[in-house]
Structure 1
Amino acid sequence: MKKYLLPLTAALAVFVAGCSGSADGGKADPSATLTIAATPVPHAEILKEIKPLLARQGVNIEIKVFTDYVQPNMQVAQKQIDANFFQTEPYLDAFNKERGTDLVKVVGVHIEPFGAYSKKFTSIDQLPDGADVVIPNDPSNNSRALLLLAGHGLVKLKNPDDRLATLKDVVENPKHLKFRELEAAMLPRVLDQVDLALINTNYALAAKLNPVKDALLIEDKNSPYVNFLVSRADNKDDPRVQKLAAALTSPEVKAFIEKNYGGAVLPAF
């Protein structure tokens, strides 16, 4: 009889695994910890603020902090993490298209007005002919930088409303600006070495820059670049994700944003 014990045990294990809930099959365990990827400022700070609020609703969250924009999406797509909070819709659309992922928006939370910074000049009018300008190299933020410059007459784009414009779409460059494209997280680190850097607000804040005071150019409150909570299509309606979405758009979060970021971050609800 002993020779049948191992196959029977293995078969039983397969049967139990097949009957248990999983990310691919049954419903998620409502008591399981929800993992969320976020960049440090302000996203992880906002998540930490609502962690006690969610705990009172029976939802425990684990915040995984990243300093880049690629891994938070890849790990959600690969089901290593449940959701993320760091990106705008144009960035998400470009990422899905480029990487073949199918991540989805859950709720819009805030706007981080994008800015242009310099350690050499105090006014954009001082920017010299042939200035060295660095912009993000990802498709969404690359065009966002160009749109900001175009809005202030520093360049002219073929289509001034194209949210995926590239340097190839620059049709006029009256100051002969010399552009370089770098990873968004690197831009604050090279600010001392260039004439102008177009920097995402989360990285500007982390580098102790005050977008309201320090930016030579900055998007206004009508910026379409809202930061979203993002998940997969298969877990968007998970009650834990929906409770997180509600908490991120609560009066508590609105008050936290308005109190702590002085206009550098604006509620989008």
Structure 2
Amino acid sequence: MRAARALLLGLAAVLALAGCASTAGSDVDPDGAGAAPSVIGEQLSGELSIFAAASLQGAFDELATAFEARHPSLEVLPIGYDGSSTLATQIVEGAAVDVFASADEPTMQRVVDAGLADAPAPFATNTLALVTPPGNPAGVAGLADLADPDLIVVLCDVAVPCGAASIALLDAAGVTAVVDSHEQNVTAVVTKVATGEADAGLVYVTDAAAADLDTVAVPGTADVVNRYPIVDLATSAHPAAAAAFVAFVQSAEGQRVLAAHGFGAP
């Protein structure tokens, strides 16, 4: 009888230990995104390299800081911001990057077609705004004024997403803008308008909100929407960290940060 009782106690102890091990192994990522390591004690480490569209700078700087706070053994390198087409070209030509976030889907498709990414996911949307320097000194009243040769107008180059969106908006309004310069990215357009080098320009609403610019309400902007995709690249040297960052951007916390910077939901 004593031997049987000892055997039962021993079996119970073994089952209890097995239950504890099972519970430890089932812990999920505290980010709530489902892509980070699932075992307690496993940490992301190393350096994470990110390329992102220029319009994402404020939001992604904040997201990178929050992501590093969750993973103290990981360093997010200074993010490369520029026009999406410029970044896509650099990636296709061999730039060592872990994550790419583009301002539109056609530009991202170039990276996919090169075999460097699989199944990018949309994470935000953006629309355009007509902006002027503070006080609107040239008296710009609408899109039609961009056809005035006496005004200094700057737009993004058509090769980058904000430029393609600008052309779509102007075409829908039947306006042929007289453009003094086409810029490589939206940040350059913002800078020229903010410093008074230009009388007007078209930028994303997120950039207009972040800069000291006046906005002129124009119809049709809600019909020209850029969808922003993000992907962890197939050539990433840190695939676990890259996948975790992508998931973090898509998580509830990531979406709150993006919304606070004026981006729409995907």
TM-score normalised by the shorter chain: which range applies? Answer: 0.5 to 0.7
Distance of 1:35 and 1:125 partners within structure 2 = 39
Deviation at 1:188, TM superposition (A): 1.7
Which structure has the bigger radius of gyration? 2
Q: Structure 1 pair 224/124, CA: closer, same or farther in 2 (3 Å)?
A: closer
Distance verdict in 2 for CA 1:127–1:224, change over 3 Å: closer
Whether the aligned pair in 2 keeps the contact of 1:90 and 1:225 (CA below 8 Å) is no
| Alpha-carbon distance in 2 for matches of 1:182, 1:117 | 15
Distance 1:45 1:30 in 2: 19
Provide, for residues 52-107 of structure 1, a one-character-per-residue CA deviation record: whole Å limited to 9, x for no partner: 33x18xx72414233422664455442422123343212334x659xx95543532
CA distance in 2 between partners of 1:200 and 1:248 (Å): 20
Alignment of structure 1 residues 96-111 onto 2, 5 Å:
96=111, 101-104=114-117, 106-111=120-125
SS in 1 for 2:78: strand
After superposition, the C-alpha distances for 1:83-137 in whole angstroms (9 at most, x for unaligned) are 23343212334x659xx95543532211222222123336317837624432111
Who is 2:141 aligned against?
123
For 1:207 and 1:51, how far apart are their aligned partners in 2? 27
C-alpha distance 193-236 of structure 1, shift in aligned 2 (>3 A): same
- Residue 179 of structure 1: aligned partner: 179
Quote the Cα distance in structure 2 between the aligned partners of 1:107 and 1:236. 20
2:265 alignment partner in structure 1 = 267
Cα distance change, pair 197–89 in 1 and its aligned pair in 2 (3 A): same
Match of 1:80 in 2: 96
Paired residue secondary structure (1:87): coil
CA distance in 1, matches of 2:208, 2:140: 17
Q: Per the alignment, do residues 249 and 195 of structure 1 end up closer, same or farther by CA in structure 2, a change over 3 Å counting?
A: same
Change over 3 Å in CA distance of 1:178–1:231 after alignment to 2: same
Task: Tell me the residue number matched to 2:192.
Answer: 190
Separation in 2, partners of 1:44, 1:203: 14
Aligned partner of 1:7 in structure 2 is none
1:89 and 1:236 map into 2 onto residues whose CA distance is 24
Partner of 2:221: 219
Offset at residue 144 of structure 1 (A): 0.8
DSSP-derived class of the 2:108 partner? helix
- How many residues are matched? 206
Q: CA deviation at 1:51?
A: 3.0
CA contact (8 A) 1:41 1:205 kept: no
Do the aligned partners of 1:96 and 1:103 also contact (CA within 8 Å) in 2?
Answer: yes
Match of 1:134 among 154, 158, 165: 154
Give the equivalent residue in structure 1 for 2:58: 41
Displacement of 1:203: 4.5
Cα RMSD (Å) of the superposition?
Answer: 3.6
- Tell me what 2:69 maps to: 52
Contact 1:84 1:231 in 2 (8 A): yes
Superposition TM-score, scaled by structure 1 size = 0.61
For residue 46 of structure 2, what is the aligned residue in structure 1?
32
Structure 2 counterpart of 1:178, which letter? Answer: V
- The answer as to whether partners of 1:111 and 1:225 remain within 8 angstroms in 2 is yes
In 2, Cα distance between equivalents of 1:214 and 1:224: 18
- Kindly indicate whether residue 164 of structure 2 is the aligned counterpart of residue 143 of structure 1: yes
Letter of the structure 1 residue corresponding to residue 127 of structure 2: P
Q: The residue matched to 2:50 in structure 1 has which SS?
A: strand
Deviations 1:205-248 (A, max 9, x none): 55344xxx72534732x654122223433449933322222211
Structure 2, unaligned runs of 5 or more: 1-42
Structure 1, unaligned runs of 5 or more: 1-28, 156-172
Aligned residue for 1:267, secondary structure, equals: coil
Letter in 2 for 1:110: A
Q: Deviations over 1:131-153 (max 9, x none)?
A: 443211142332210112233x2
Query: Equivalents in 2 of 1:125, 1:137: separation in Å?
Result: 17
